[in-house]
Amino acid sequence: MNRPVWLLDVDGVLNATRPGWSAAPRNGTAYGGGYPYRLRWAPALITRIRALHEAGSVTLRWCSTWCADAGQLERLFALPRLERAWTDPISHSAAPAAKLAAAHAVLDQGHRLIWTDDDAVPTSGPVHDELVTTGRALLIAPLANRGLQPEHLDTIEAFVSDTNVPDTGRAGADAIETARRLLGDTA
């Protein structure tokens, strides 16, 4: 199956102060680490992400400091239970390295990668070049206050539909296990 794994961050990607999308944003509260956080998102964005997931076009995987509390997000966004890059709480200072390890794990397992993150995605330099050199990775770093926009989803949908790039991956659980091992997560 030539299905990419989409590493999906939350804050600055889904949760944005000015999400746009030509419609009123939605607001809601999710609890992270026992504390309430007010989130704001574009319903049309969530609808398009959900449609890609339901069609079996991508494997969605939370890759965020929210992973330990992802059930809160799934409830708020009316998403099914999704895979997590890790299950234990992670600090904001440890998150960039953990996210990069998760991206490498996806590619090392032979899967195509979609990685959306407002601050951890490398936009240039040797790490960026290493990830995209084979054409098997799509890296998107949206503006944190805007999050993912319609043109980003258009790009993702085009990447997903490109079956010319081979997916040589094993089961998605292998990539998750590799990322967990790299992070020292034994859950």
Tens digit of pLDDT for each residue in 110-131? 999 999 999 999 999 999 999 9
pLDDT for the residue numbered 165: 62
Alpha-carbon gap, residue 184 to 158, rounded angstroms: 35
Residues with pLDDT less than 50, the chain: 1, 169-176, 178-183
pLDDT for the residue numbered 162: 85
pLDDT for the residue numbered 129: 95
pLDDT for the residue numbered 177: 52
pLDDT for the residue numbered 148: 98
pLDDT for the residue numbered 90: 95
Domains in the chain, start-ordered, CATH in brackets? 5-183 (3.40.50)
What is the per-residue DSSP string for 54-114?
A: HTTS-EEEE-STTGGGHHHHHHHHT----EES--S---TTTHHHHHHHHHHHHHHTT--EE
Contact 91, 32 (CB under 8 A): no
